[in-house]
Amino acid sequence: MKRTADRTEDEQPTAVGGAIRALRERLGLRQGDLAKRTGMSAAQLCHIEKDRNAPSVRTLQRIADALDVPLADLAAGPSAGGAAERPAPPEPEATAGDDDADFVGSLRPCGATSLADLPPAARAQVRRRILDYRELEKRAGVPTLPSLALDYPSEIAAADAEALAAAVRRAAGVADAILFDSVQLLENKGLRVVAADLPEGVDAFALWEESARNVWLMVRKAATDERQQFRAMCALADALRFVAGGARRPVGDAPADRAFAKAFAAAFLMPAAALRELCYRLAVRPDGWNWELLLREKKRYGVSAETFARRLEALELLRPSLRQEFARRARAWAAEHGGEPNPSHRKELRHSRFGDLKALLELR
């Protein structure tokens, strides 16, 4: 490829900054939110939006993927009548009897949130994401049955979140191991995890596909990595209780139901045996934790500082007064900086298995 004045040909300046800014604002995203999705700094994105820097084609593709638009909508720029100037067209609903409509309609909500509860734009996007994922699975010829057991005795799924989490971990072959990315584990076992622009207050929910005896876990794309992972596990808890003993009854939204889901997520992400071993090996007593150590260790589990401290306190590995102090510091950090202090190793979830299937088909 020919070089021209320190740039390759595909890095020449393009008037895309206005298009990117308009699309970002239409989605209600801050520059920092979009920068995080694309793996660049907010300053880099700011320069691109102001047309101070010319992004490469590869960078443009990352931005288009993060905004969920075709690359052409950015390449055209706002002055060319691209997506930044025109309102998004409403997504056509499938006609009655259409295979796609039948499939989406067959998915059953496992908890208190269903597709019908979402605003129209979010509902249309979730529907499109599911159908795109399903189409890729068909074209790639991959199995849709999960290799992870999802049906457990109803007495466990109804009454003991710790026991249920331990059973699922044993079935997954990870016992008490520390998992940097538990969502990736679920995907490797065949569960479908899909990120979408869910509304505030809906961080995740689960849909059951009876034909494949598998679950679709929908997570909110704008949430922090830590919150995505924790809420995905809460949705999985709903799915497991939905399936348990052939019940097929959606889990409610009562305080006891939410408490069970959170207890399952905490036990799955932070096994009691692993945390006790950690404290033993570091010789850390309940009153011996400090903020720096907490941030270092919580990162290993991919959870927030507050969630990690709460789990330690529940296992009597942390003094309640210290847990309260750490919660205060975590909230102060979020208020000043946004996000999570010492964020997890996970990259933001955005169709990771979906991307694998796309790459597989492109190589064929």
Instruction: Give the total number of structural domains in the chain.
Output: 3
d(CA 260, CA 167): 15
Residue 94 has pLDDT above 80, yes or no: no
| Of residues 231, 209, 236, the one with CA closest to residue 220 | 231
**What are the two backbone dihedrals, phi and then psi, of residue 219, each rounded to the nearest 5 degrees?**
-125, 155
Tell me if residue 341 falls in helix, strand or coil: coil
Read off the CATH number of the domain in which 10 is found: 1.10.260.40
Residue 145 sits in the same domain as residue 125? yes
- Tell me, what's the pLDDT at 214? 96
Residue 340 has pLDDT above 80, yes or no: yes
Residue 71 sits in the same domain as residue 131? no
| Single-letter amino acid code for the residue at 266 | A
> Residue 38 domain-assigned?
yes
Compute the average pLDDT of residues 154-167: 87
Residue 79 has pLDDT above 50, yes or no: no
DSSP E strand stretches across the chain: 3-4, 7-8, 108-109, 192-196, 204-209, 214-220
| Of residues 110, 93, 308, the one with CA closest to residue 192 | 110
Residue 309 sits in the same domain as residue 232? no
Residue 314, token pair as written in the block: 């529940």
Res. 364 pLDDT band, cuts 50 70 90? low
CA 210 to chain centroid? 23
Compute the average pLDDT of residues 199-225: 94
Residue 9 sits in the same domain as residue 107? no
Of 45, 80, 115, the one marking the end of a domain is: 80
Residue 120 sits in the same domain as residue 229? yes
Residue 174 sits in the same domain as residue 234? yes
Residue 293 sits in the same domain as residue 177? no
CA distances from 159 to 25, 165, 239, 260, 261 (A): 45, 12, 15, 8, 11
> Residue 91 domain-assigned?
no
- Tell me, what's the pLDDT at 298? 95
Residue 243 has pLDDT above 90, yes or no: yes
d(CA 85, CA 109): 36
Burial 13-47 (b: 16+ CB within 10 A, else e): ebebbbbbbbbbeebebebebbbbbbebeeebbbb
- For the segment 24-71, what is each residue's pLDDT rounded down to a tens digit? 888 778 888 888 888 888 888 888 888 888 787 778 878 887 887 777
Mean pLDDT over the full length of the chain: 85
Of 46, 80, 114, the one marking the end of a domain is: 80
Residue 233 sits in the same domain as residue 132? yes
- For the segment 213-229, what is each residue's pLDDT rounded down to a tens digit? 999 999 998 898 899 99
CA distances from 171 to 146, 209, 246 (A): 12, 20, 19
- For the segment 112-160, what is each residue's pLDDT rounded down to a tens digit? 999 999 999 999 999 999 999 999 999 999 999 999 999 988 877 777 9
- For the segment 259-300, what is each residue's pLDDT rounded down to a tens digit? 999 999 999 999 999 999 999 999 999 999 999 999 999 999
> Residue 62 domain-assigned?
yes
> Residue 26 domain-assigned?
yes
Give me the sign of the Cα torsion angle 230, 231, 237, 240: negative
Residue 347 has pLDDT above 90, yes or no: no
Q: Which domain holds residue 305?
A: 272-337
Residue 345 has pLDDT above 80, yes or no: no
